[in-house]
Amino acid sequence: MRIIIKPGDLRLPLDPSLSFGRNAELVVEVGFGDGRYLSHLAAEFSDANLLGVDVSLGSVWRAYRRMLRENISNVRLFRGDARFVVRDLVAPGTLSRIYVNFPDPWPRKKHLKHRLLQAPFFELLSTRLKERGSLLLTTDHQEYYQFALDEAASTSLYSVTESDPPPATLTTKYAEKWREMKKDIFHARFEKISEAAPHPAIIKKTDMHHSILEGDLSAVTTFEKQIHAFPGGHSIILEGFRDLNNESLIFKVRVEEPDLVQEILIQAWQKPDGVFVSLQPFGDPLATRGVKESVHAVTDFLASKGLVVKQRWI
Q: Is residue 139 involved in binding ligand SAM (CB under 6 A)?
A: no
Choices 29-37, 62-70, 124-132, 302-310; region in contact with ligand SAM by CB under 6 A: 29-37
Q: Is 104 a catalytic residue?
A: yes
Secondary structure element (H or E) that encloses residue 182, with its range = none
Q: Is residue 7 involved in binding ligand SAM (CB under 6 A)?
A: no
Q: Is residue 35 involved in binding ligand SAM (CB under 6 A)?
A: no
Q: Which of 39, 134, 139, 172 binds ligand SAM (CB under 6 A)?
A: 172
Binding mask 102-121 for ligand SAM (x = CB under 6 A): xxx-----------x-----
Instruction: Say how far residue 130 (Cα) sits from the centre of its chain.
Output: 21
- Kindly provide the residue ranges of all beta strands, DSSP E only, lying in 47-171, ordered along the sequence: 49-54, 75-79, 95-101, 129-139, 158-163
Q: Is residue 39 involved in binding ligand SAM (CB under 6 A)?
A: no
52 half-sphere exposure, CB direction, 13 A CA radius: 32
Q: Is residue 170 involved in binding ligand SAM (CB under 6 A)?
A: no
Q: Is residue 33 involved in binding ligand SAM (CB under 6 A)?
A: yes
Give the shortest CB-24-to-ligand SAM separation in angstroms. Answer: 22
Q: What share of the chain is helix, strand, coil (3-state, %, to 5)?
A: 30, 30, 35
Q: Which of 52, 81, 274, 296 binds ligand SAM (CB under 6 A)?
A: 81
Contact 145, 189 (CB under 8 A): no
Give the shortest CB-165-to-ligand SAM separation in angstroms. Answer: 11
Residue (174 or 190) nearer to ligand SAM, CB: 174
Choices 26-34, 63-71, 184-192, 202-210; region in contact with ligand SAM by CB under 6 A: 26-34
**Which residues 6+ apart lie within 8 Å of 303 measured at CB?**
213, 309
- Kindly provide the residue ranges of all beta strands, DSSP E only, lying in 60-142, ordered along the sequence: 75-79, 95-101, 129-139
Q: Give the CA radius of gyration of the chain.
A: 23
| Cα 255–Cα 29–Cα 64 angle in degrees, nearest 5 | 80
Residue (33 or 274) nearer to ligand SAM, CB: 33
Catalytic residues: 104
Q: Where do contacts with ligand SAM occur on this chain (CB under 6 A)?
A: 30-33, 53-56, 59, 81-82, 101-104, 116, 172-175
